[in-house]
Structure 1
């Protein structure tokens, strides 16, 4: 019976439920799309198996694993944490013989994998979809297998290349590795291969010379006829190295050539958090506003004998029906959104080029359940008071704003507000968690504002409306109406506040981070007169020749890498630089303690890392280099200009020896050297720019959803006032006067929302800015900030004006009869 009544109610009020339908549709679509992205990156495979032609792969472990034990009194809790390395450890040469002598082992292939860079006449040769270009000895070709399509296997001074590189037999190309740059001839083109990798094969006897590696990075095994793979693998484990079989064989490959989805997990997790919060927040507000606007109807039903329980069931069933109907088209739209967003992130390089969206029925069902649960929960909360108040009070509240106890609202706001303060004060916003924690604190402050909305919005409205008051009769009437109907202002202003606060916080924090990084970069490179940065990198020997030019009075060479640090039992990966200095200072790291001289056998650390780990000059912490080699180095300096550079500075020779790439990223020189005989410097889209572009894409997604939600909320609020407009027309008001009145009301509402949004984002952004460099900022780029203020304000005014004109044109006056 209740379902039939709810269906009839919805059919008769299709326009009234349109707002709830649209909001539920958008919420479910975005939650399902974000959920699919996170699910896909969590379940993404390790990529193609370059060792498909082998049964077992023996290699050094590709991750740092730390195990800690905590005595809980009654039991000992053991935790194991791992961190993936960026390089591959070199196996001792005698291990190949020991592997071959293991019972059950048939054929053994020693594989050497090392990054290479190719160019033709100085123009870099890129693999499609940013695939890694990796060199191997020709003997490794059969492991995948790669097969010759054209030409022959390489001899000394020759290479065979993958067909995806677009090179031809007989072509002369430049090949750069960390041991040097050389010209080689393309002897053959191979096909087959692995998605995400481009192979370059060299003569087996030149692998050590060109790679700079003293031994293989992996040993591939084919078991003897009649032997069991599991038994052979168990026997090989006794050698004390990693043994990989089946799908795990890919873990024996060069880490830089295998897709890394760790960054994608954090990105899509953040996307889900932003869209989920915005969807829940806006959906709750829309449903609550819709219930609030039915007070007159609910009062009449109470007068007719309906009980509060019956009204709650009716409202819940209506909203459930609308949500279910909205979910049907929302789920396929969510799949489309996931594919579009994933494609854009692939273009930006924020996720591996091989990343694809996996459609999971479980995720889609979960998104539908979440959407339904949120709407039902919002309906239950909004209906609690609406169905319990007396009919006469409900009718009275349709004319004037109701009161209600303030204490529960204040109590409900204290908890999220306290949480926001704790995050801003206690969490180190200057670290890796800064951006994410900024969003969390902003979300908590918005929740606190929503809890005390009628109180705070009412107070701000009282001030704003009086400022607008002198602007003619329409302005004074609009000011009075917004002061009286502050609850209506709350329903419209809060979504607009959400739209500005969340997106301004994310965008401005990203701008501040970019500005601080640029300032430190400028300060760091100020002493240099010439900077040479080659997108493909320079061998260390080439960079040293630049530094040794007669007219150079000082130089600094940097080799980028990653270093793993023990963070109290949890291995953490940090960006680092290998550095070699000579002569006058050509690079200013802003040393605040100690002295940055010859770094051989020592390390310098950034101020934040030193503070976090409690390190001081003279301490001897341990680190894991890119290939997993553990070193213990004394701290000789603490520096402040670390952004865009790295948290650790080690000797360039040490880094080049243990990083698979090992190329100089930049050379800083003092003087006026003649560099005509060296490779020309060239730039490229760096990781920082890609990260910023990915961040702005997340802001765009959030802005799109909240903008539609704001327009929808204005339309719902305005559509519910048809009767009021009709009564004003009866009293003699013209359409033009109504338009002016509603325009002033929209202006007041927009100003209130922007004041609150600027206040919330200002608190979060200011704390974030202080954590970066001690300076308080409201914004980094005034044009972008005030452009966003103007854009959100214009959207609010249009969203308020357009529905008002549509409703007034409907000539509600005859309906009063």
Structure 2
């Protein structure tokens, strides 16, 4: 019977066209995304490509989606390590690599690109080639990228964390970034995380690597060869992580919808072929043989579709990789490598999907009785089985419960509960469709009874008589519309709610934000006035890195009304910092800050005796910190301070709030994200612009919201494309099997136009039915999510549904349904003449 199934698939290829197309596209997407994912591995950064052996600081485990820098070595450890590593035979230099924020200003505007400055000695770690001009020899001199078009001897303004500073270009390199003297880099940067070992000609790299491991021990990690790719910048790592989410979502959607389309195709085919299966049973075929025949059909379709899809994925992968780079889901320089295993794995997965999807249909085919071969009536008998009733009711109740739970869910669970509710309701209503369709059709189709002619009555009765056919054709529309409304509405409602929350939380007339820069310098903060936070990263005793922020006494006093104190007092946290300047350090010279970082007694630094630490409750519970006790924190420069916990609060802008002077003393390259204003700015803000509170709320999430919206449209487009195939395929199969009905109508006096009109009206009615059920699935989940978001942000969030996108989806379903039904109907009507 397996061979019979293969022959049947060849003879009935038109009935399997939809399943073939869906599976082919699904395997193509799996092959393409697998190739892109396999190619999205880290690569050795260009600036380290000229060094065979590198040493980095120990790596700390971080949670999913966190990309904070690892703890740097202390200055004393760097000095000791470089001295010992320099003594390895064959090593000519041990270079402590330092990085800091630097950005050129040309024609009054910051220039985008690589915004990192380095010490001149770091040039030895990369194969950049000769310098045109000379290296920097003193403060105020810089070697920069030749691509900027600035010749040696020319003046240039560099933005640093302190503000704009004048420099003289002494040379240019065919390399990104800015290179200053090592002494200047040490002042501008934080701690050292990478030491590069420059080796002489003929040096034994394996021996150098081994000796470096003995010297470093547990105090770091030695990297050589391809392992150097672990030094990929955190920003590129984050972009790759986002790209992985996109690829995973695409693969999941393609797999799920492929199963749905193939399963629905074979299930509907079994319903239409009951007489055929009954005839096989009548001539002696056993239920097992019938099941094997259906599996043979699926095997033939699956093998051909999977092979075609795997080949198509190889062709599309490089194009798709380029699109991901343009959209911001992969880092610049990413390219796709063609390997054998992704298309082979996609082929096997596609074949497995085909056989899995046909399991239920094969069992139904095996249960067809021999007397079905003699049955003449087409009306459905008992379209709902007991298992379908139980499963449908269970999924519907589960979806309703999840929708209700969304209203009171926490911030992290709102989206998950909404998705679970929609998925459960889609499955539940799809399973219960044969029971739901008749009463819904009777209610919605009553206006058709009052139309002129018999078309309305025929449409109504056809839908009621063939419940399974109506349910099968409405189900893909239900899935398409429900998914589109839910995902797009969820994305837009969440973005709008968070924007409203930001507007409420700002509590200021205006906000100064970066303009062409990654953040605001101290000069910009001072010019703006207002209050702000200075973000940084700190490292506790064990555990992952922690996000922290420096805050001035004024900013802490202003936030006191929104910080619910659970332990201690915010007054202790206001003792440190510098109250005279918004930047918290304008009265300090570089020598003063250096002294403070070493543990000096500048009261503005807010050290262990001058200021306190404000800790968020979740972090205090996690680390066991309580108000009044002291904690040891390592900072961005590698130095450690002991600070007192002033207060534990329910929530705060950052897990740790520190005196701003302390943060600046230990993190010379930190940049401020925004400054809140209650009045006009004090002066010109270099690298910044002023926004109103509402404009800031919309602007604050622009890039992230853009990536999420692009991701949403990709998923919706894929789902619509797949379910569009299901709509078209089901309509073609349903209409092609009604040739006898059309012949009866023609013999009864109906014109060809009337028959085609009836088919078109029935297709439109089925699309409307699926759309109504899809809306019924999506809106409970969206309303529950809106309620939860409103409670979270403390304001009434609006339900935002992008109706233009939804109308395009519904219009596409309608066009596909009508077109797929009318074309075979025309052919059938012509044959009936």
Q: Is the 8 A contact 1:501 1:757 kept in 2?
A: yes
Distance change in 2, residues 1:413/1:665 (3 Å): same
Residue number among 354, 365, 373 corresponding to 2:333 in the alignment: 354
Cross-structure match for 2:19: 20
Residue number among 565, 582, 602 corresponding to 2:554 in the alignment: 582
Distance, in Å, in 2 between the alignment partners of 1:415 and 1:618 is 53
Residue number among 432, 438, 454 corresponding to 2:434 in the alignment: 454
Greater mean alpha carbon deviation, residues 576-585 or residues 165-174: 576-585
Q: How does 1:555-634 map to 2 (within 5 A)?
A: 555-561=530-536, 571=544, 577-580=549-552, 582=554, 590-593=562-565, 598=573, 634=645
Distance change in 2, residues 1:366/1:137 (3 Å): same
State the Cα distance separating 1:320 from its structure 2 match. 1.8
Residue number among 454, 459, 469 corresponding to 1:488 in the alignment: 469
Distance change in 2, residues 1:311/1:255 (3 Å): closer
Q: Is the 8 A contact 2:418 2:785 kept in 1?
A: yes
Distance, in Å, in 2 between the alignment partners of 1:36 and 1:592 is 50
State the Cα distance separating 1:232 from its structure 2 match. 0.8
1:671 aligns with 2:671: no
Distance change in 2, residues 1:120/1:395 (3 Å): farther
State the Cα distance separating 1:393 from its structure 2 match. 3.6
Residue number among 262, 266, 287 corresponding to 1:283 in the alignment: 262
Cross-structure match for 1:315: 294
Distance change in 2, residues 1:694/1:429 (3 Å): farther
State the Cα distance separating 1:605 from its structure 2 match. 6.9
Residue number among 497, 505, 527 corresponding to 2:508 in the alignment: 527
- Could you report, residue by residue, the CA deviation over 1:122-166 in whole angstroms, capped at 9, with x for unpaired residues? 222222xxxx43211111111113222422212321211234555
- Could you report, residue by residue, the CA deviation over 1:410-437 in whole angstroms, capped at 9, with x for unpaired residues? 3334665566567667799654565456
1:200 aligns with 2:199: no
Distance, in Å, in 2 between the alignment partners of 1:444 and 1:624 is 48
Distance, in Å, in 1 between the alignment partners of 2:391 and 2:252 is 22
Distance change in 2, residues 1:32/1:250 (3 Å): closer
Partner SS, residue 115 of structure 2? strand
Q: Is the 8 A contact 1:534 1:666 kept in 2?
A: no
1:178 aligns with 2:161: yes
State the Cα distance separating 1:710 from its structure 2 match. 2.7
Distance, in Å, in 2 between the alignment partners of 1:178 and 1:748 is 64
Distance, in Å, in 2 between the alignment partners of 1:578 and 1:355 is 36
Q: Is the 8 A contact 2:277 2:368 kept in 1?
A: no
Cross-structure match for 1:729: 746
Distance, in Å, in 2 between the alignment partners of 1:14 and 1:383 is 18
Q: Is the 8 A contact 1:170 1:185 kept in 2?
A: yes
Distance change in 2, residues 1:337/1:250 (3 Å): closer
State the Cα distance separating 1:484 from its structure 2 match. 1.8
Cross-structure match for 1:70: none
1:104 aligns with 2:84: no
Q: How does 1:735-746 map to 2 (within 5 A)?
A: 735-746=752-763
Q: C-alpha root-mean-square deviation of aligned residues, in Å?
A: 4.0
User: Gapped runs of 5+ residues in structure 1?
Assistant: 67-80, 549-554
TM-score by length of 2: 0.81
Q: Is the 8 A contact 2:403 2:781 kept in 1?
A: yes
Greater mean alpha carbon deviation, residues 439-448 or residues 797-806: 439-448
Which structure shows the bigger proportion of residues in strand conformation?
A: 1
User: Gapped runs of 5+ residues in structure 2?
Assistant: 577-610, 691-698
Q: Is the 8 A contact 2:519 2:671 kept in 1?
A: yes
Greater mean alpha carbon deviation, residues 115-124 or residues 465-474: 465-474
Greater mean alpha carbon deviation, residues 574-583 or residues 408-417: 574-583
- Could you report, residue by residue, the CA deviation over 1:718-746 in whole angstroms, capped at 9, with x for unpaired residues? 23322322232222222222233223322
Partner SS, residue 139 of structure 1? helix
Distance, in Å, in 2 between the alignment partners of 1:615 and 1:453 is 56
* Number of equivalent positions: 774
Distance change in 2, residues 1:85/1:544 (3 Å): closer
Greater mean alpha carbon deviation, residues 181-190 or residues 265-274: 265-274
Residue number among 386, 396, 400 corresponding to 1:407 in the alignment: 386
Cross-structure match for 1:57: 54
TM-score by length of 1: 0.83
Partner SS, residue 158 of structure 2? strand
Q: How does 1:152-167 map to 2 (within 5 A)?
A: 152-156=134-138, 157-167=140-150
Distance change in 2, residues 1:801/1:248 (3 Å): closer
Cross-structure match for 1:75: none
